[in-house]
Structure 1
């Protein structure tokens, strides 16, 4: 069962003793490969920066902004991971994030501490998760219907609470809270000066690494550090503990898990509540750290993008962290140099698509797919060569377009939990 939960399958050996080799065994993503891929991506970005002159694509400001924009998406994705690994689809992440934004702001104001707001935001999101668990796990309501209902109710409920609470506070209103207490930040000050100097040199590769390192070490919120630590913690709990094995078995083979004495309802409940808690933390980050104030509609669809990041990451913590970083980076680019940076990103996309076409042709022997990918690469490259910038209307759509492109390219390798979204009743035989 653990092998199925890990996403690997074992085919019977063919006649003659020859062992069949699956695509997963031909190429396995390991830590050294990930490190080499990261270095290669920085080299590519550095080369594009030199060619296009778009200095912001690896600047410390862009990296810092990308990190802040990736955190709420990553927390929502992590929440979706917990829920769906237990077999419960959580479309309600957006509504749970909305609850987190309001309760986070309320807690910070009520107790005059941003950390109290963090706890309150987690509780607010967990409340949404509990409602989703009651509907889907206890009463067997369709997961999509329950999630959509939570998204709708979450918005209406927080609007009502704002009129009830924030409107009576000085500086508050029906759609916003007063200014919230500021969250502390960490800066490694002794390396800021040398890194800033090296980044300003605009040297190939060295300046890019300096910019990335400066963005990751200066003015980083303690909440951001907490969010980053939750990724390896979730991996350890879900893949390295007996609790995690039982929880994942509920999303793979709940009937088999029940036959082995696992309380499937209890584990699904726990997973969905933790899912809401993590989404609530993402919402609290938006109000406490990202804006320093609660505003109506503050999530801006990040719960849905988090769900897309989780799918892009193939229901794995490391993969969803990469997806959140990708979406945060594209969003940061369009907020800084706008059309210039996004125009440079077109060249990066064209080169990556070309590399993917070569991989599909050489390693996977998928000629048709390789031709389609190569055609897309050529089209993007032609657009890059024929334009000098990207219209502002298009740059604001960049994060959402990235979501669609990534999901379409990653769809061939996805493997969701076998019982994800399938209603479960105790005592059923299949």
Structure 2
């Protein structure tokens, strides 16, 4: 018997192939909406922890102000790391560039005022970035080795210049004379209204009022610039041709070169911008209210924490803001509230873990739920067994938070594919 198409008998119609309807794609919330939901959730957790523990410091205006001031250098250093690593250059040298920025800010501000100090800090940080770019891009030195060298060099150069220039002025080779700082501004009408709400001690409402009030009270121009740089970085890197080419260098430089992208040029520009932003982070330690000029060791490893905040944010500006806020808040809490406030924060983390465990159980992710239960149990035991944390441990709150957050976030991270990979011009043939 003759067969027709699809092995059916000749003269008969073969059934049409059956196509299964594709499942509708789930629409994800936009990034800003997820950020708002996270902010509401964090305020709810802090409010509950503050109410149950009786520690009002968790959501006070003063706490919010301190957190913003301490988060600023971390945010700027993290933005610097973002620009560099999106081009494929790992920048462990952020700490050294920040140190150079602190010295440049004090030198420029002493002789020319705060804006000259800010410009000098950016320039000094960019010079550190230039050295890192020469080593890693031109001479293909291992990025980690070069970054460590930049950190040591920045520390040594700042110490030498401080002894040479600041010691005759201040009498101390480890610090500069007092320098001018940025003026601060407040939204007076809104701030007064929020202060009134905070004093009423209403659960939830007063907590949100205190946290928001700290964000609009005593704000410096440098803080405003740093906040604006976050959406600007996103728009430039993800919405412009320049940004697309720069990110292609961090994903596949060989393919980028074959398409006519000047890979070396983009890597150099990215690392220079990275150093300038790290220098601005150093300037924020010197030129904001409460800064006392240059002081040896004042960066206190914030360059590394900025790098951790960038990784926590999954190499994205929005996530970076959340990481910087978390680390700045943890660092400020031990300054304003001491050990009891840190214990109250642990209680809040227990509440957050309970919520996450419920979510994991609904998703039937048993291992993640079990790990969450174990973590909540450990934190609650620490809270229950101690009335106050030793003063020797509280200064390291931000560092402990860094380790915990990176450990829990490591499963969802996706770094640029060619980040830290050596590249030679002409490899694309």
User: With structure 2 as the length reference, what TM-score do the two structures score?
Assistant: 0.92
User: What residue in structure 1 maps to residue 303 of structure 2?
Assistant: 303
Residue 340, structure 1, aligned to residue 340, structure 2: yes
Name the structure 2 match of 1:148. 148
Deviation at 1:360, TM superposition (A): 3.0
Counterpart CA distance in 2 for 1:398 and 1:29 is 32
SS at match of 1:165: helix
CA–CA distance in 2 between the matches of 1:198 and 1:19? 52
Deviations 1:88-112 (A, max 9, x none): 000000000000000111011121x
User: Once the 2 structures are TM-superposed, how far is the Cα of residue 29 of structure 1 from its aligned partner?
Assistant: 5.9
Range with greater deviation from structure 2 (156-165 or 40-49)? 40-49
Q: How many residues align?
A: 411
Equivalence for 2:267: 268
Structure of higher CA gyration radius: 2
Q: Give the structure 2 partner of residue 8 of structure 1.
A: none
2:242 maps to which residue? 243
Between stretches 352-361 and 132-141, larger displacement belongs to: 352-361
1:386: Cα distance to partner? 3.0
> Residues 47-126 of structure 1 correspond to what in structure 2 (within 5 A)?
47-111=48-112, 113-126=113-126
Alignment of 1:10-21 (within 5 A): none
In structure 2, the partner of 1:291 is 291
1:401-412 pair list within 5 angstroms: 401-412=400-411
SS in 2 for 1:309: helix
User: Runs of 5+ in structure 2 lacking a partner?
Assistant: 1-17
Offset of residue 235 of structure 1: 0.6
Instruction: Measure how far apart 1:212 and its partner are.
Output: 1.4
1:413 is displaced (CA, Å) by 0.4
Measure, in 2, the Cα distance between the counterparts of 1:20 and 1:277: 47
**Residue deviations 1:271-318, cap 9 Å, x none?**
000000000000011112151311011110000000000000000001
Conserved 8 A contact 2:98-2:279: yes
8 Å CA contact retained: 2:70, 2:328: yes
Q: Deviations for 1:133-174, whole angstroms, at most 9, x for unmatched residues? A: 0000011000000000000011111111011111122x3521
CA-based RMSD: 1.8
Q: 2: distance between equivalents of 1:293 and 1:382?
A: 42
Which residue does 2:13 correspond to in 1? none
- In the alignment, which residue of structure 2 is the partner of 1:3? none
Q: Distance in 1 between matches of 2:100 and 2:28?
A: 42
Q: Secondary structure at the match of 1:167?
A: helix
CA–CA separation in structure 2 for the residues paired with 1:232 and 1:271:
17
Runs of 4+ in 1 over 4 A off after TM superposition: 15-22, 25-29
CA distance in 2, matches of 1:362, 1:87: 38
Q: Which residue of 2 aligns with 1:354?
A: 354
Query: Within 2, Cα distance between the matches of 1:155 and 1:300?
Result: 12
Mapped to 2, the partners of 1:17 and 1:421 lie a distance apart of 44
